[in-house]
Amino acid sequence: MHILVSAASRHGATAAIADTVAETLRRFGHRVDVRQPEWVGSITGYDAIVLGSAVYAGRWRAAARLMARRIQKEVAPDVPVWLFSSGPVGNAGEADGACTDAEVACKRIHARGHRVFPGVLWRSQLSMVERAVVSVARAEEGDHRDWPAIELWATDIANELAVRAAGGATPVAADG
Ligand SMILES: Cc1cc2nc3c(=O)[nH]c(=O)nc-3n(C[C@H](O)[C@H](O)[C@H](O)COP(=O)(O)O)c2cc1C
C-alpha cells in the first residue's frame, strides 16, 4: 500500500517518531512517503494516512491542524487514518490538553485512533520564552520517547492494513 506519514515538529522529536513509524511500515512492504504537513497538498493516491504533531501549550502545531482541515473533504471513508501526538515530558504542560486538537482532527478525518507518545526536552534547544514556560511547568529534561511502543503502534497499523487488504475491513465508527 502507499502510505503518507506526516508530522508537525518544531525541534525534531516528533519528526523522528514519524520516521520510525515510516520505517516500521516499510518493513511490512509498504511504500511510505514522509512529508511535513505544510507540504501536503492532495492526498489522492494514498491508501492510508498517519498524521502527528508535537504538542505545545496544549495545542497541536498549526500545520497539523490545518492539514487535517485541508484534507477533510478529500479523505475517503475507506482510507484509514491514524493520529499521534508527541507531548508529555515529565510534568510539562497538560498532556490531556494534547487531545483537544487531536480529538477535533479525529472527527474531521474519521481517524481510527489517536496515540500520545512522550516527547523530548533539551533546554539548550529552546528559545527564551520556551525555557520560561517549561520552567514553570517543571518539565523533565531528556529524551522520553518510547521507541518500542512507537514501533509496536506502527506494527499494529501494519497488521490492521493487512486485515483490510485481506478483505476484513471494519467500518469506521461514526463518532471517530
Ligand atoms: C514551551 C513548551 C511547551 C510545551 N507544552 C506541552 C504541553 O502542553 N503538553 C505536552 O504534552 N507537552 C508539551 N511540551 C513538550 C513537547 O511537546 C515535547 O518537547 C515534544 O517532544 C516536542 O516535539 P518537537 O521536538 O517535534 O517539536 C512543551 C514543550 C515546550 C518546549
Q: What is the pTM of this model?
A: 0.91
Which residue's CA is minimally distant from atom 31 of ligand 1? 130
Which residue's CA is minimally distant from atom 1 of ligand 1? 130
Give the Å distance between the CA of 146 and the centre of ligand 1: 15
Which residue's CA is minimally distant from atom 20 of ligand 1? 119
Give the Å distance between the CA of 81 and the centre of ligand 1: 23
Q: Which atom of ligand 1 lies nearest, measured to the CA of 130? A: 1
Sign of the C-alpha dihedral computed for residues 20, 34, 162 and 118 taken in this order: positive
Does residue 54 have its Cβ closer than 6 Å to ligand 1? yes
For residue 137, pLDDT beyond 80: no
Check if the beta carbon of residue 40 is closer than 8 Å to that of residue 6.
yes
Check if the beta carbon of residue 140 is closer than 8 Å to that of residue 89.
yes
pLDDT score for 89 = 82
Q: How far apart are CA 18 and CA 9, in angstroms?
A: 10
Taking the domains of the chain in order of start, what are their residue ranges?
Answer: 2-165
| Region at 11 (left for phi over 0; alpha for psi -120 to 50; beta for the rest) | alpha
Beta-ladder partners of 3: 32, 48
Q: With pLDDT > 90 as the criterion, what percentage of the chain qualifies? A: 75
pLDDT score for 96 = 47
Mapped onto helix, strand or coil, the DSSP state of residue 174 is coil
Least confident interval from 27-31, 135-139, 158-162:
135-139
For residue 92, pLDDT beyond 50: no
Q: Which residue is associated with the grid cell 477533510?
A: 72
| pLDDT confidence band for 99 (50 / 70 / 90) | low
pLDDT, mean of residues 4-12: 97
Which residue of 5, 34, 55 sits with most ligand 1 atoms within 8 Å of its CB, as the best mutation to test the pocket?
A: 55
Does residue 47 have its Cβ closer than 6 Å to ligand 1? no
Does residue 1 have its Cβ closer than 6 Å to ligand 1? no
Q: How far apart are CA 159 and CA 103, in angstroms?
A: 24
Does residue 120 have its Cβ closer than 6 Å to ligand 1? yes
Mapped onto helix, strand or coil, the DSSP state of residue 175 is coil
CATH 3.40.50.360 fits 2-165, yes or no: yes
* pLDDT tens per residue, range 150-173: 999 999 999 999 999 998 755 454
Give the Å distance between the CA of 55 and the centre of ligand 1: 5
Mapped onto helix, strand or coil, the DSSP state of residue 105 is helix
